[in-house]
């Protein structure tokens, strides 16, 4: 009987997998840096004095309201949507405080300004609730932060954003922003369909290869001369999947800092910042 070589098929499948996964491997995406201050400026748009001033201001507001606000200026979004970068950064930094029982309150807020892509976002934790709505975050970005960023006034833009956020959190009618006519671009992180398509194609290739092997090999015969099945003689392979679905959770990284009197946050720290939990409350995005 002539032997059938499967090597060409294996090489073809391997080449297809390389083509499919190469773009995903080439672009690792954005990774959140450590939270070394209330204001992390990887883009280099703020001076040391401006960062110190803004960080101390945020710390003062945090002590007064209990809400944790952080500012992040990435050098680049690395091709990721601003919503994804803001969400993942807020989770990695675990923005928020803990209650008296040590339970996460998820009451953090992140103001993200991406100068390279000219995109901005406010990401809110679940614990913020109605104190800072998606509509309010949109108004802050569109009416307060965006106009200043168009003039490259980054310190003033961050200052105005922080003021708007804490005004809403403190429920100060005199300082709270008014309703904007521009629509809200809210919601959580946007997950692309490319990974799902890749997984589907891989499964199709795998099962197609198994089916091809079965057809080429045909039924096997046992020592008693009867068919013993095989891939081509009846049912296909049974595969069991365990451990849940595709979208696993995963905790955030350890950001924040404890009560060390001074700390890296500028103006001291009297609470635990790592109370962010799963975050994912809402927010809005805008361009400038």
- DSSP string computed for 3-39: PPP-HHHHHHHHHHHHHHHHHHHH-----PPP--SSE
Return the pLDDT at 159.
98
What pLDDT shows up at residue 155? 99
SS3 of 285, please?
A: strand
The structural domains of the chain, with segments of one domain joined by +, span 39-190+278-287
Q: CA torsion sign, 123 to 128 to 130 to 136?
A: negative
Q: Identify the CA nearest to 270 among candidates 283, 255, 254, 258.
A: 258
271: exposed, middle or buried (C-beta count within 10 Å: 0-12, 13-18, 19+)? Answer: middle
What is the per-residue pLDDT for 181? 44
Tell me: pLDDT of 221 over 60. no
Is 78's pLDDT higher than 60?
A: yes
Ordered DSSP codes for 96-128: B-B-TTS-B---EEEEEEETTTTEEEEEE-GGG
**What pLDDT is recorded for position 21?**
55
Q: How confident is the model over 269-280, as pLDDT tens digits? A: 333 444 455 666
Average pLDDT over residues 26-48: 91
Instruction: Using the structure block, give the residue that is written with the tokens 């049912």.
Output: 235
User: What pLDDT is stored for residue 203 in this prediction?
Assistant: 62
The reported pTM is: 0.61
pLDDT digits (tens, 9 = 90+) for 22-34: 555 445 689 999 9
Report whether pLDDT(182) > 50. no
pLDDT confidence of residue 13 = 72
**Would you say domain 39-190+278-287 falls under CATH 3.30.1360.120?**
no
């Amino acid at each position: 009987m002539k032997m059938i070589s499967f090597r060409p098929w294996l090489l073809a499948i391997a080449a297809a997998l390389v083509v499919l996964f190469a773009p995903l491997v080439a672009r690792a995406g954005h990774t959140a840096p450590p939270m070394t201050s209330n204001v992390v400026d990887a883009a280099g748009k703020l001076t040391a004095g401006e960062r110190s001033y803004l960080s101390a201001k945020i710390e003062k507001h945090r002590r007064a309201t209990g809400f944790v606000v952080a500012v992040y200026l990435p050098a680049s979004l690395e091709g990721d949507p601003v919503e994804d970068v803001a969400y993942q950064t807020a989770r990695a930094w675990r923005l928020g405080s803990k209650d008296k029982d040590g339970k996460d309150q998820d009451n953090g807020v992140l103001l993200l300004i991406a100068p390279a892509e000219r995109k901005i976002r406010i990401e809110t934790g679940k614990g913020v609730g109605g104190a800072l709505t998606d509509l309010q975050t949109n108004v802050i970005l569109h009416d307060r932060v965006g106009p200043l960023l168009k003039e490259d006034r980054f310190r003033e833009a961050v200052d105005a954003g922080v003021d708007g956020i804490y005004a809403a959190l403190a429920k100060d009618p005199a300082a709270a922003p008014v309703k904007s006519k521009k629509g809200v671009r809210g919601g959580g992180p946007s997950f692309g369909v490319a990974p799902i398509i890749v997984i589907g194609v891989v499964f199709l290739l795998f099962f197609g290869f198994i089916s091809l092997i079965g057809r080429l090999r045909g039924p096997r015969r046992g020592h008693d001369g009867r068919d013993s099945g095989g891939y081509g003689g009846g049912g296909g392979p049974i595969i069991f999947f365990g451990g849940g679905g595709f979208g696993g959770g995963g905790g955030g990284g350890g950001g924040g800092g404890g009560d060390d009197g001074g700390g890296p946050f500028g103006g001291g720290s009297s609470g635990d910042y790592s109370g962010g939990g799963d975050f994912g409350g809402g927010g809005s995005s805008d361009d400038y």
